[in-house]
Amino acid sequence: MKNDANNNRTILIEQHKRFSESCLWRLQREYFDKSGIDAWVNQVPFYITSNPYIANCYAQIVVRFIRDWTKQHPDAKQHPFYILELGTGSGRFSFYVLKKIRELLQTLGMANISICYVMSDFTKNNIKYYETHPALIPFIEKGLIDFAIFDIETERPISLLRQNILLNPEVLVNPLVTFANYIFDTVSHDAFTVRQGKLYELLLSTSTTEDNLQDNKPKDMEKLSIDFKIHEIKNDYYNDPHLDDILNQYKNTFTESSFLFPIGSIRAIKFLKKISNNKLFIISSDKGYSSIESLNHLGHPSISFHGSFSMMVNFHAIANYFKNCQGDYFLQTPRKGIKTSVFCGHFQLKDMPETSLAIQQYIEGVSAADYFTLHRRVSDSLQEYTLEAIAAHLHFALWDPHIYLKLTNRIVSLVEESDLDTINFIASNMSTLASNYYYMPKSDCVLFEIAVFFHAIKRYEQALQYYLEASKYVGRQFSLFYNMALCQHNLGRIQDALVNFKHSLELDSESKEALEWIVYLEKNTDKPMDKG
Ligand SMILES: C[S@@+](CC[C@H](N)C(=O)[O-])C[C@H]1O[C@@H](n2cnc3c(N)ncnc32)[C@H](O)[C@@H]1O
């Protein structure tokens, strides 16, 4: 026990623990369980793995994979393809990817392929959010979505809550397609260091100041201090040749380096291989290392806190695990941001020509990581873009509401001075933008902003339609009724306009404009006013 600069006692929480057995992982789960969907309101970053662009990349690969598989196994068409998402989080990725998979199956004449998208997470709180989500309900009603409470650190059956069946080798006739985004970085790792040809494990000690403890538990994970001690180990640390072989490779290759071993993820993969008879096809995006060179000369692992915490994923180790078990993998050439990797159990990508082509195009080509890097850079300047350039960026981003919401004021302010071709281009893509709306608490409603766009370009009928759609999400708001009344007035629906101006006045009794409209329209019920 020590005192810090503010005379706060430092309390040791645990000492010399194997990293994967640290209390940190339990605290991590408690954080997600307690936060539920609120984890994504301003805390845990998720845009990078939850946008239409990355979803399109995954969908293109999966549909090609299904095509390759059904060509080689004609009977496969008689059975569903299960697509399991691990650590689903907000569900926004699930929505975009499933929508795109369905579109592609339709376009490619594969609508007869039956799919079941399983949204899984360890916390029931997240599942409850998905079950009643307006964007997911149409898919749920068609039987395209099921749910599972699955803690990837605990080997246990995956039970589908709607169909009430277990995912097991009898049910999984076709390969189990699995998406793992920002989850391998969240679950347990072991930590090692190599020094002068010897391999040591890194044992963790965790401490915090006394004022950060409540009921003997840390209140804020960001205030934890961690420390590593080295401890020499033998060659058969995991007692599993597939894993020990990888540790040995690192021992023999690294001059001096510390590295993480994603043991929690690998145990989950072993379980998924077992229930799918080794027919496992994983696509995963995360921050991490994919080449052996990038793992050399690293210092002790650092933990990045952002509400929860995350670690760099050793994709190189996961890939080698698959290779050691007669599987295959594709690791993206290094990018600074996230990396997308593909892993296959007991089949080889060289036998999957369409899948391989799609991987080249959507992972090695302009990947989710490239998209995000470009978007982040461009987003600093978007407020200076012309409408034409904004439209092009929105098109590149596949009409992503998240981006539109940041630009709505700029777009409306540019409408008057912009050319008709650009305006028509944006207008013709508004239904796509609307179809990408995925409600999240405490965020703006893109349907309302689409209505504002149509209002600004004087397409009052369409504006009204979107204001009405938005009302399901935004509830009774002054601006909604007032804007609807303005559109109705412009369409000559004076009585409807009067009703809505009155509603708006109920919501803001000080609005002089609403009152003025009401007084005017009550006197001139058949005469539109020359304003607005
Ligand atoms: C960092 S978030 C990533 C969410 C989402 N995949 C994304 O890319 O935005 C991690 C998610 O995994 C879930 N999670 C954490 N530990 C888990 C575990 N042991 N098993 C399954 N899910 C877990 C959390 O509830 C959370 O939804």
CATH number for the domain spanning 334: value is 3.40.50.150
Residues 34, 308: Cα–Cα separation, whole Å:
11
24 with 163, same domain? Answer: no
For ligand 1, whether the C-beta of 181 sits within 6 Å is yes
Domain match, 423 and 319 both = no
528 in any annotated domain: no
Task: Provide CB contacts within 8 A for 442, sequence distance 6+.
Answer: 41, 42
Q: Say whether both 158 and 291 belong to one domain.
A: yes
Range of the structural domain that residue 16 is part of: 2-33+188-261
The 3-class SS string of 254-323 reads CCEEEEEECHHHHHHHHHHHHHCCCCEEEEEEECEECCHHHHCCCCCCCCEEECEEECCEEHHHHHHHHH
Pick the atom of ligand 1 nearest to 89's CA: 27
Residue 24 beta carbon below 6 angstroms from any ligand 1 atom: no
Q: What is the pLDDT of residue 219?
A: 85
239 and 129 in a single domain? The answer is no
Do residues 204 and 22 lie in contact, with contact meaning Cβ atoms separated by under 8 Å?
yes
Quick one: pLDDT at residue 447? 98
User: Structurally, how many domains does the chain consist of?
Assistant: 3
Does the Cβ of 182 fall within 6 Å of ligand 1? Answer: yes
Verify whether ligand 1 is closer than 6 Å to residue 338 (CB atom).
no
Query: 148 and 81 in one domain?
Result: yes
Residue 1 corresponds to which tokens in the numbers above?
A: 């026990």
Q: Are residues 160 and 306 in the same domain?
A: yes
CB 331 within 8 A of CB 290: yes
The domain boundary, picked from 305, 331, 365, lies at 365
Per-residue model confidence (pLDDT) at position 335: 86
Domain end residue (candidates: 220, 243, 261): 261
Helices 446-456 and 478-490: crossing angle in degrees, nearest 10, is: 30
Q: Does the C-beta of 44 come closer than 6 Å to ligand 1?
A: yes
Q: Whose CA is nearest to atom 23 of ligand 1?
A: 87
Q: Of 204, 233, 261, which marks where a domain is finished?
A: 261
Residue 394 lies in a domain: yes
153 lines ligand 1 (CB under 6 A): yes
Measured from the CA of 49, which atom of ligand 1 is nearest? 8
* 327 and 436 co-located in one domain: no
* Local confidence pLDDT in tens for the 532 residues of the chain: 556 666 778 999 999 999 999 999 999 899 899 888 888 776 667 899 999 999 999 999 999 999 999 999 999 999 999 999 999 999 999 999 999 999 999 999 999 999 999 999 999 999 999 999 999 999 999 999 999 999 999 978 999 999 999 999 999 999 999 999 999 999 999 999 999 999 999 999 999 999 998 888 888 888 888 999 999 998 899 999 999 999 999 999 999 999 999 999 999 999 999 999 999 999 999 999 999 999 999 999 988 777 788 899 999 999 999 999 999 999 999 888 899 999 999 899 999 999 999 999 999 999 999 999 999 888 889 889 999 999 999 999 999 999 999 999 999 999 999 999 999 999 999 999 999 999 998 899 999 999 999 999 999 999 999 999 999 999 999 999 999 999 999 999 999 999 999 999 999 999 999 999 999 999 987 665 655 4
| C-alpha–C-alpha distance, residues 100 and 501, integer Å | 40
Q: Single out the residue of 136, 138, 81, 84 nearest to residue 110, CA to CA.
A: 81
Residue 257, in any domain of the structure? yes
Cα of 90 from ligand 1 centre, angstroms: 9
Answer yes or no: do 353 and 495 share one domain. no
171 and 281 housed in the same domain: yes
Q: Is residue 530 part of a domain?
A: no
Q: Decide whether any atom of ligand 1 lies within 6 Å of the 121 Cβ.
A: yes
CA–CA separation, 390 and 401 (whole Å): 13
pLDDT for 532 equals: 45
Q: Is 333 inside any structural domain?
A: yes
pTM equals 0.94
Q: Cβ(193) to ligand 1 under 6 A?
A: no
279 C-alpha to ligand 1 centroid (Å): 23
Domain-located, residue 409: yes
Ligand 1 centroid–CA 119 distance in Å is 11
Q: Whose CA is nearest to atom 22 of ligand 1?
A: 87
The one-letter amino acid at 460: Y
| CATH number of the CATH domain containing 479 | 1.25.40.10
Protein residue with least CA distance to atom 5, ligand 1: 89
Closest by CA to 412, choosing from 398, 392, 395, 427, is 427
Looking at the structure, do residues 87 and 99 belong to the same domain, yes or no?
yes
Same domain, 417 and 476: yes
- Asked if residue 186 has its Cβ within 6 Å of ligand 1, the reply is yes
- CB of 152 shorter than 6 A to ligand 1: yes
> For the range 305-308, what are the long-range contacts, defined as Cβ-Cβ under 8 Å and sequence gap of 24 or more?
305/221, 305/222, 306/43, 306/44, 306/45, 307/31, 307/35, 307/39, 307/43, 307/44, 308/28, 308/31, 308/32, 308/39, 308/43, 308/44, 308/186, 308/221
CB distance 187 to ligand 1 below 6 Å: yes
The answer to whether residue 529 is domain-embedded is no
The reply to whether ligand 1 has any atom less than 6 angstroms from the CB of 119 is no
Determine the distance separating the centroid of ligand 1 and the alpha carbon of 443, expressed in angstroms: 21
Specify if 390 maps to a domain. Answer: yes
Clarify whether residues 148 and 45 are in a common domain. Answer: yes
